């Protein structure tokens, strides 16, 4: 009896487990026409599979062109869904933080936890934390701001981000299509040109910090089609006060599956560009000694009539994360020149191995 | 110097092969015992600490309830996690569960893989893709390889984990690859453990890693005031301190015994070297006349001492290492203290302790050579050349009334000092004053030997005895030094033996009586670390062959983070008559009806300095509860203290009384039926059933085992003492070569000479054994009344085992006579004519 069950169970379970999980969890799709309401939609959408709050920025004097990044990811893995315990690992949070020292090095730190166990998020406003790391929107009578806090052995920051412009709903009122198929999409809200004020701790020394940041909040259940391996994305705070966001989804051959861009000029006029009007052309590649991945760290990006060139503040801005699973991507501060000029964050994923989102 | 020195050493070793070899062996024995004890304990401690590290990981601090029935609220865990000084909080839920119908409960640790990866990586489970779908967060338990082997289960097998009425039907989803080979444990995601076994909205404890640069002590101090009363944040360093505190007294005790063995070794070196000096006095005098300075004569004997010490110590190290290895292979890391069990720790000698024991061995040997070296330096050359060794180069205190009075006064003072030492409290929680008192008693015994000798034999000499006997008596009275040397070895070794036997016997008698008191019921059933199942109580509600039941539950309270937890015993007992169940050491005070009464064990009374009638704040059920000490009871089972609270009081405080042990009284005449009834339930419910007689036997056999190591030490000491007697007697034969030669010239035949020497040996042995016996009883009393209470916090009445002591004394006397035969043989082989010719 024991031997039989020993022989049978692994086979049985292997067949059952994924099916059971898939059946138990029905993720909602990102639906076109969903009206976003704030501050509620700054908060988490726990029913969706993926969500992230992404802040990238560049600091000014005394930290000339130093880049910083703090991202909180929320993931609903579809596990332990029916379990009656507040500790069930049905919602998992990850956070990545990085500081780019131009021409020198990238400092990187990460945290991971399940919600309710040293970490948590709000579903009614932007308020997410893992331990003492946090990203939180503060509302006062006359202003609103975001508070970003993180600390690690080698660096820490505590920044206040104040809007200078209204937020920007990407795509169709915050519904952003990620493939020619309309079912692959996300809800996507950006907030460019945030004024940064606060403190940065480097090598144990605390120094005041000022600069400009870009806030992204995106949630979805399925983003990439099976044939897609990753994306190139850029968000640029233009020097004149405008903002440009562009992305493309790539297939294994490096060809664009889908692309989109939005440009809001300094006067607040918004232009959107479809897949046929957006192109990313690699100009120079850099190979990671860590992962062997080849990243096009310098690119020409064409958005309608505008052509811009990116050049990285540091070639090696690759992030190698162990959590939730080994994942490597390039995410870093670039300066942008050409028809439009500014500083932006370029993100390139799927170069080391295909992403499954 | 060197060539001559080597030549002398070689000559010395060649001519006194046996004595030298014995001295080397004795030193080796002392070193070996000490070193082996050290190695075994160090290995066991390291192993224990490693085991703890593997299960607890390496946090900086631990947030835990002070009551084992308590828990840490989830909200507090989440609040502390947000502290900027905190890097990670790794929460765990620890419980014990039964796997299917397996008889013993297994530890189940619910952990959060995210935080566990950093804080306790050794516990991380490895999912088998086939069995779990590859996710750590899903339904599934992970077993250590040892547990899989013990249960005969494979990865993927379905299992039912149960605790009390709670059940979790799950499967073995993988293993714990970093688990130690003998760890028996299950690991699962914390949420699954909580969902099935609780506690709701809480965890067992949180293990914290602080941010780099944060000083743990400062942070802990800042937190201390903010915690709820039932919780404590402790520095993880306290844990290792606690681990080493657990067995410290026991280790120190064993090491003191080893030191005594080394001391007897030093004594043997003393005897050998003294003999060597005496026998070579003419040679040395000749060398002295030829220009060997007194300093060099002194150095030579010291170097010879070292020449015994170095190989002795080296041999001892090798022997000790082998002994430790053999011991751990055969028995494990527990020297009998019961603190470490189960595993075979690796013996890893450290450089510093190894060198330390080597130096100790050499130092003992050197110490033994000191006095002979001094004597050698002081020899008057001309006289030595002519007549050989002069025993008293200073011609001093040889028993004249004045010096005898001074001697007696000194001894009286020493006796007073000894008494004073026994009245001192423990130092650093160790009975150091007690050990000092023991050393003084031995010194006193040795110092008393000449007085006793002269008094007793002085009187005997006046009797009309045959010549050989009278000569023997006179020898002893007139040459007290040699007699003293020979006797002191026996005094020390016999005192050690008698004292140990006395202490062990007192303890055993007390334990025996105590077992009677704490095992009132004929039958017991218990479940280790789990509440007894409701099924059992349901069955007991039906008609059964029992007339009475008594439940009890066990927990643990942490009163002091530096000390091991105190056991909490919740018992069904009559508040008006607790003495019916607890063996009180003194009077029991009645506690007012409206107060909570507790009865504390003797170790707890001493560790926490409490007395009957005093109030005490106990961390019970998540808060501090004021209780009144109703009395102190004797407990030989829990060295770190125990506190008993009545079940009614405990329930009144809001506690849940989950019995873990049950005492049962069968109806008269239905004993066999009762046993069968209980045995059947115990088997099907996975409980341990014991008859009180069985527990008694087991306890006593554990006790006997735990003192087995002391018997080895006693045997070694007795052997060394007997060697000493033989060596010194032959030395004294050499010293009196002229006299013996004269005797044989006067017509003493071989038999008469043999008889004279043997009588002398017997008399010296008798003195040694008599004084040793007295000292042994004194030391036994110190061990029983001072060392034991101070080191282990338990008291017992003194019980002298005459039936063991007297036969041992007789046996030793016989052995002593046999040993003196060895000396007598040398006396009869003396070339009388040559000796006498030389003496002219």
Q: Is B646 in the same domain as B545?
A: yes
Residue B71: is it exposed, middle or buried by C-beta count within 10 angstroms (0-12/13-18/19+)? buried
pLDDT in tens, B279-331: 777 777 777 777 778 788 788 888 888 888 899 999 999 998 998 888 777 76
Q: Is the separation of the CB atoms in A261 and A243 below 8 Å? A: no
Q: Which of A256, A166, A153, A252 is nearest to A203 (CA)?
A: A153
Q: A116 CB contacts (<8 Å, ≥6 apart)?
A: A86, A87, A91, B74, B78
Any domain includes B413: yes
Put simply, whether A116 touches B (Cβ < 8 Å) is yes
> What is the CB neighbour count within 10 angstroms for residue B191?
25
| DSSP reduced 3-state for B398 | coil
Chain-chain contact of A131 with B87 (C-beta, under 8 angstroms): yes
Q: What pLDDT, on the 0 to 100 scale, is given for residue B401?
A: 54
Any domain includes B239: no
Any domain includes B242: no
Q: B571 CB contacts (<8 Å, ≥6 apart)?
A: B550, B552, B581, B644, B645, B646, B647
B192 vs A contacts (CB less than 8 Å)? 80, 83, 85
Distances (CA, A) of A119 to B65, B80, B322: 22, 11, 54
Any domain includes B222: yes
pLDDT in tens, A340-350: 999 999 999 98
Query: Across the interface, which of A14, A86, A117 has its CB nearest the CB of B112?
Result: A117
Residues paired with residue A159 on neighbouring β-strands, in sequence order: A148, A198
Is pLDDT of A262 > 90? yes
Q: Is the separation of the CB atoms in B468 and B755 below 8 Å? A: yes
CA-based radius of gyration for chain B: 33
Domain end call among B686, B704, B728: B686
Residue A355 to residue A353: CA distance in whole angstroms: 6
Put simply, whether A107 touches B (Cβ < 8 Å) is no
Cis bond upstream, residue A39 (ω within 30): yes
Q: What pLDDT, on the 0 to 100 scale, is given for residue B391?
A: 57
Any domain includes B66: no
Q: Is B503 in the same domain as B549?
A: no
Chain-chain contact of B192 with A114 (C-beta, under 8 angstroms): no
- The position carrying tokens 């001519």 is B15
Q: Which of B233, B20, B200, B248 is nearest to B93 (CA)?
A: B200
Query: Across the interface, which of A2, A87, A151 has its CB nearest the CB of B191?
Result: A87
Q: What pLDDT, on the 0 to 100 scale, is given for residue B481?
A: 65
For chain A positions 10-49, those within 8 Å of chain B (CB to CB) are 10-11, 13-14, 17-18, 21
Domain end call among B628, B658, B686: B686
Tell me what percent of chain B is helix, strand and coil, each rounded to the nearest 5.
60, 15, 25
Query: Across the interface, which of A17, A112, A132 has its CB nearest the CB of B82?
Result: A132
Chain-chain contact of B157 with A83 (C-beta, under 8 angstroms): no
- The position carrying tokens 């006349």 is B289
Q: B329 CB contacts (<8 Å, ≥6 apart)?
A: B344
Chain-chain contact of A131 with B131 (C-beta, under 8 angstroms): no
What is the nearest CA distance from B167 to chain A, expressed in angstroms?
A: 14
Put simply, whether A85 touches B (Cβ < 8 Å) is yes
DSSP letters, B684-705, are HHT-EEEEHHHHHHHHHHHHHH
Q: Is B545 in the same domain as B682?
A: yes
Dig out the tokens for B50 from the structure. Answer: 């490693």
Put simply, whether A131 touches B (Cβ < 8 Å) is yes
DSSP label at residue B137: T
Chain-chain contact of A131 with B86 (C-beta, under 8 angstroms): yes
What is the nearest CA distance from A289 to chain B, expressed in angstroms?
A: 26
A119 vs B contacts (CB less than 8 Å)? 81
A86 vs B contacts (CB less than 8 Å)? 74, 194, 201
Average pLDDT, chain B: 82
Any domain includes B257: no
Q: Is B662 in the same domain as B752?
A: no
Query: Across the interface, which of B77, B189, B201 has its CB nearest the CB of A89?
Result: B189
Q: What pLDDT, on the 0 to 100 scale, is given for residue B388?
A: 61
Q: Is B28 in the same domain as B79?
A: no
Any domain includes B610: yes
Q: Is B694 in the same domain as B822?
A: yes
- The position carrying tokens 């508040």 is B575
pLDDT in tens, B741-764: 777 777 777 777 788 778 888 888
Chain-chain contact of A153 with B211 (C-beta, under 8 angstroms): yes
Q: What pLDDT, on the 0 to 100 scale, is given for residue A17?
A: 34
A117 vs B contacts (CB less than 8 Å)? 74, 77-78, 81, 91, 112, 114-115, 190
**How many CB pairs below 8 Å do chains A and B form together?**
114
Q: Is B698 in the same domain as B756?
A: yes
What is the per-residue burial (b if ≥16 Cβ within 10 Å, else e) of B276-304? bbbbbbbebbebbeeebeeebbbbbbbbb
Q: Is B679 in the same domain as B742?
A: no
Chain-chain contact of A13 with B130 (C-beta, under 8 angstroms): yes
Q: What pLDDT, on the 0 to 100 scale, is given for residue B832?
A: 63
Query: Where residue A22 falls among pLDDT bands split at 50, 70, 90?
Result: very low
| DSSP reduced 3-state for B423 | coil
Q: Is the separation of the CB atoms in A249 and A178 below 8 Å? A: yes
A83 vs B contacts (CB less than 8 Å)? 191-192, 195
3-class secondary structure for chain A? Answer: CHHHHHHHHHHHHHHHHHHHHHHHCCCCCCCCCCCCCCCHHHCCCCCCCEEEEEEEEEECCCCCCEEEEEEEEEECCCCCCCCCCCCCCCCEEEEEEEEEECCCEEEEEEEEEECCCCEEECCCCCEEEECCEEEEEEECCCCEEEEEEEECCCEEEEEEEEECCCCEECCECCEEECCCCCCCEEEEEEEEEEEEEEEEEECCEEEEEEEEEEEEEEEECCCCCCCEEEEEEEEEEECCCCEEEEEEEEECCCCEEEEEEEEECCCCCEEEECHHHEEEEEEEEEECCCCCCEEEEEEEEEECCEEEEEEECCCCCEEEECCCCCEEEEEEEEEEEECCCEEEEEEEECCCCCCCC
Query: Where residue A16 falls among pLDDT bands split at 50, 70, 90?
Result: very low
Residue A155 to residue A63: CA distance in whole angstroms: 14
Residue spans of chain B under pLDDT 50: 336-339, 393-399, 840
Q: Is B440 in the same domain as B546?
A: no
What is the nearest CA distance from A33 to chain B, expressed in angstroms?
A: 35
Dig out the tokens for B505 from the structure. Answer: 């016997």
Crossing angle between the packed helical segments B281-289 and B236-279, to the nearest 10 degrees: 80
What is the nearest CA distance from B718 to chain A, expressed in angstroms?
A: 59
Q: Which of A278, A95, A42, A288 is nearest to A177 (CA)?
A: A278
Phi, psi torsion values for A110, nearest 5 degrees: -145, 160
Chain-chain contact of A5 with B91 (C-beta, under 8 angstroms): no
A132 vs B contacts (CB less than 8 Å)? 81-84, 86
Q: What pLDDT, on the 0 to 100 scale, is given for residue B396?
A: 42
Residues paired with residue A156 on neighbouring β-strands, in sequence order: A151, A201
B132 vs A contacts (CB less than 8 Å)? 13, 17
Chain-chain contact of B137 with A14 (C-beta, under 8 angstroms): no
What is the nearest CA distance from A299 to chain B, expressed in angstroms?
A: 37
Residue A131 to residue A113: CA distance in whole angstroms: 9
pLDDT in tens, B383-403: 666 666 655 544 444 445 556
B194 vs A contacts (CB less than 8 Å)? 85-87
Chain-chain contact of A87 with B112 (C-beta, under 8 angstroms): yes
Cis bond upstream, residue B170 (ω within 30): no
Q: Is B579 in the same domain as B448?
A: no
Which of B213 and A22 is assigned the larger pLDDT?
A: B213
Query: Across the interface, which of B91, B191, B201 has its CB nearest the CB of A88?
Result: B191
Any domain includes B62: no
Residue B187 to residue B142: CA distance in whole angstroms: 5
Put simply, whether A78 touches B (Cβ < 8 Å) is no
State the ipTM, two decimals: 0.87
Chain-chain contact of B195 with A204 (C-beta, under 8 angstroms): no
Put simply, whether A77 touches B (Cβ < 8 Å) is yes
What is the per-residue burial (b if ≥16 Cβ within 10 Å, else e) of B130-158? bbbbebbbbbbbbbbbbbbebbebbbbbe
A75 vs B contacts (CB less than 8 Å)? none
Q: Is B207 in the same domain as B348?
A: no
B131 vs A contacts (CB less than 8 Å)? 9-10, 13
pLDDT in tens, A304-317: 999 999 999 999 99
Q: Is B721 in the same domain as B828?
A: yes
The residue extents of the domains of chain A are: 38-349
Q: Where are the alpha helices (DSSP H) in B560-639?
A: 602-607
Which residue on chain B is closest to A94 by alpha carbon? B114
Question: What CATH code is assigned to A38-349?
Answer: 2.40.370.10
Domain end call among B686, B717, B741: B686
DSSP label at residue B660: S
> Into how many domains does chain B fold?
4
| DSSP reduced 3-state for B430 | strand
Q: Which domain holds residue B670?
A: 528-686
Chain-chain contact of B114 with A112 (C-beta, under 8 angstroms): yes
pLDDT in tens, A243-255: 999 999 999 888 8
């Amino acid at each position: 009896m024991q031997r039989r069950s020993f022989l049978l169970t692994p086979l049985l379970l292997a067949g059952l487990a994924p099916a059971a999980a898939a059946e138990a969890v029905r993720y909602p799709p990102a639906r076109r026409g969903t009206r976003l309401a704030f501050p509620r939609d700054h908060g988490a959408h726990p029913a969706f599979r993926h969500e992230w709050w992404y802040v990238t920025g560049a600091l000014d004097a005394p930290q000339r062109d130093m880049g910083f990044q703090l991202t909180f990811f929320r993931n609903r893995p579809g596990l332990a869904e029916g379990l009656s315990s507040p500790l069930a690992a049905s919602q998992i949070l990850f956070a990545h933080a990085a500081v780019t020292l131009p021409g020198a090095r990238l400092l990187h730190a990460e945290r991971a936890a399940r919600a309710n166990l040293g970490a948590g998020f709000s579903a009614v406003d932007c308020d997410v934390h893992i331990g003492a790391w946090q990203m939180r929107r503060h509302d006062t009578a006359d202003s609103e701001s975001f508070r970003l806090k993180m600390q690690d052995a080698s660096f820490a920051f505590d920044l206040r981000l104040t809007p200078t412009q209204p937020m920007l709903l990407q795509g169709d009122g915050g519904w952003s299509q990620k493939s020619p198929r309309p079912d692959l999409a996300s809800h996507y809200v950006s907030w460019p040109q945030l004024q940064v004020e606060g403190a940065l701790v480097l090598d144990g020394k605390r120094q005041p910090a000022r600069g400009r940041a870009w806030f992204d909040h995106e949630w979805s259940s399925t983003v990439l089609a099976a044939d897609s391996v990753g994306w190139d994305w850029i968000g640029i705070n233009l020097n004149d006060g405008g903002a440009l966001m562009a992305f493309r989804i790539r297939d294994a051959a490096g060809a664009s599956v889908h692309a989109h861009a939005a440009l809001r000029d300094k006067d607040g006029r918004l232009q959107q560009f479809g897949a046929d009007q957006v192109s990313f052309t690699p100009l120079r590649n850099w190979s990671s000694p860590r992962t062997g991945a080849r990243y096009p760290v310098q690119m020409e990006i064409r958005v309608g009539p505008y052509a811009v060139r990116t050049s990285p503040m540091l070639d090696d801005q690759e992030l190698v994360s162990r959590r939730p699973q080994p994942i490597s991507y390039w995410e870093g501060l670039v300066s942008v020149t050409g028809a439009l000029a500014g500083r932006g964050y370029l993100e390139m994923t799927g170069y080391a191995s295909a992403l499954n989102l | 110097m060197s060539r001559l020195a080597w030549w002398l050493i070689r000559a010395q070793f060649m001519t006194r092969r046996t004595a030298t070899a014995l001295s080397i062996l004795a030193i080796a024995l002392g070193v070996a015992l000490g070193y082996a004890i050290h190695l075994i304990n160090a290995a066991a401690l390291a192993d224990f600490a490693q085991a703890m590290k593997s299960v607890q990981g390496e946090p900086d601090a631990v947030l835990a309830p002070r009551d084992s029935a308590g828990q840490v609220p989830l909200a507090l865990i989440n609040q502390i996690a947000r502290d900027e000084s905190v890097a990670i909080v790794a929460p765990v839920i620890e419980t014990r569960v039964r796997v299917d119908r397996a008889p013993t409960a297994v530890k189940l640790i619910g952990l959060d893989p995210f935080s566990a990866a950093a804080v306790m990586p050794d516990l991380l489970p490895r999912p088998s893709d086939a069995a779990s779908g590859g996710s750590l967060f899903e339904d599934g338990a992970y077993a250590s390889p040892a547990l899989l082997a013990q249960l005969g289960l494979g990865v993927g097998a379905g299992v039912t984990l149960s605790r009390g009425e709670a059940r979790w039907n799950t499967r073995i989803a993988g293993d714990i690859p970093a688990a130690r080979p003998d760890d028996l444990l299950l690991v699962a995601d914390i949420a699954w453990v909580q969902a099935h076994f609780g506690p709701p909205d809480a965890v067992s404890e949180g293990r914290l890693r602080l941010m780099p640069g944060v000083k743990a002590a400062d942070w802990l101090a800042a937190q201390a005031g903010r915690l709820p009363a039932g919780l404590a944040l402790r520095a993880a360093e306290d844990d290792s301190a606690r681990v080493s505190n657990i067995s410290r007294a026991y280790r120190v005790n064993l090491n003191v015994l080893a030191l005594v063995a080394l001391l007897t070794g030093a004594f043997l070196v003393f005897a050998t070297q003294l003999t060597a000096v005496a026998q070579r006095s003419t040679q040395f005098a000749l060398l002295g006349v030829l220009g060997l300075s007194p300093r060099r004569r002194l150095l030579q004997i010291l170097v010879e001492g070292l020449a015994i010490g170095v190989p002795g110590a080296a041999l001892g190290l090798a022997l000790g290492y082998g002994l430790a290895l053999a011991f751990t292979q055969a028995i494990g890391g527990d020297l009998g203290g019961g603190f470490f069990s189960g595993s075979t720790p690796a013996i890893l000698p450290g450089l510093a302790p190894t060198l330390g024991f080597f130096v100790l061995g050499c130092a003992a040997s050197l110490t033994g050579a000191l006095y002979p070296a001094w004597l050698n330096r002081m020899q008057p050359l001309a006289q030595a050349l002519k007549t050989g060794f002069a025993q008293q180069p200073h011609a001093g205190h040889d028993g004249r009334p004045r010096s005898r009075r001074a001697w007696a006064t000194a001894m009286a003072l020493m006796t007073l000092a000894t008494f004073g030492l026994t009245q001192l409290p423990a130092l650093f929680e160790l009975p150091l004053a007690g050990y000092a008192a023991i050393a003084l008693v031995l010194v006193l015994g040795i110092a008393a030997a000449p007085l006793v000798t002269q008094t007793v034999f002085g009187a005997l000499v006046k009797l009309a005895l045959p010549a050989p006997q009278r000569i023997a008596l006179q020898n002893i009275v007139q040459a007290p030094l040699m007699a003293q040397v020979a006797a002191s070895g026996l005094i020390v070794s016999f005192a050690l033996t008698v004292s140990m036997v006395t202490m062990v016997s007192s303890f055993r008698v007390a334990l025996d009586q105590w077992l009677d008191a704490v095992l009132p019921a004929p039958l017991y059933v218990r479940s280790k670390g789990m509440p007894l199942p409701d099924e059992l109580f349901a069955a007991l509600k039906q008609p059964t062959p029992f007339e009475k039941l008594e439940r009890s539950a066990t927990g643990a309270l942490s009163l002091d983070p530096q000390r091991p937890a105190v056991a909490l015993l919740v018992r069904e007992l009559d508040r008006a008559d607790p003495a019916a169940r607890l063996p009180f050491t003194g009077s029991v005070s009645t506690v007012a009806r409206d107060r909570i009464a507790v009865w504390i064990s003797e170790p707890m009374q001493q560790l926490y300095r409490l007395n009957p009638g005093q109030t005490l704040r106990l961390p019970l059920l998540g808060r501090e509860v004021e209780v009144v000490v109703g009395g102190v009871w004797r407990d030989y089972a829990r060295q770190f203290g125990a506190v008993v609270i009545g079940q009614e009081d405990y329930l009144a405080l809001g506690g849940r009384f989950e019995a873990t042990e049950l005492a049962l009284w069968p109806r008269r005449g239905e004993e066999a039926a009762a046993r069968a009834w209980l045995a059947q339930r115990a088997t099907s419910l996975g409980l341990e059933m014991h008859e009180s007689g069985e527990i008694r036997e087991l306890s006593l056999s554990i006790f006997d085992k735990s003192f087995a190591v002391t018997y080895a030490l006693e045997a070694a000491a007795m052997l060394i003492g007997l060697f000493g007697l033989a060596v010194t007697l032959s030395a004294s034969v050499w010293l009196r070569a002229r006299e013996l030669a004269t005797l044989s010239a006067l017509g003493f035949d071989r038999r008469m000479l043999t008889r004279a020497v043997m009588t002398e040996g017997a008399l010296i042995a008798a003195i040694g054994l008599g004084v040793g016996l007295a000292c042994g009883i004194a030391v036994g009393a110190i061990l029983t009344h001072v060392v034991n209470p101070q080191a282990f916090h338990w008291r017992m009445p003194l019980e002298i085992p005459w039936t063991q002591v007297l036969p041992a004394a007789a046996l030793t006397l016989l052995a002593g006579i046999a040993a003196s035969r060895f000396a007598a043989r040398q006396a009869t082989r003396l070339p009388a004519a040559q000796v006498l010719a030389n003496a002219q």
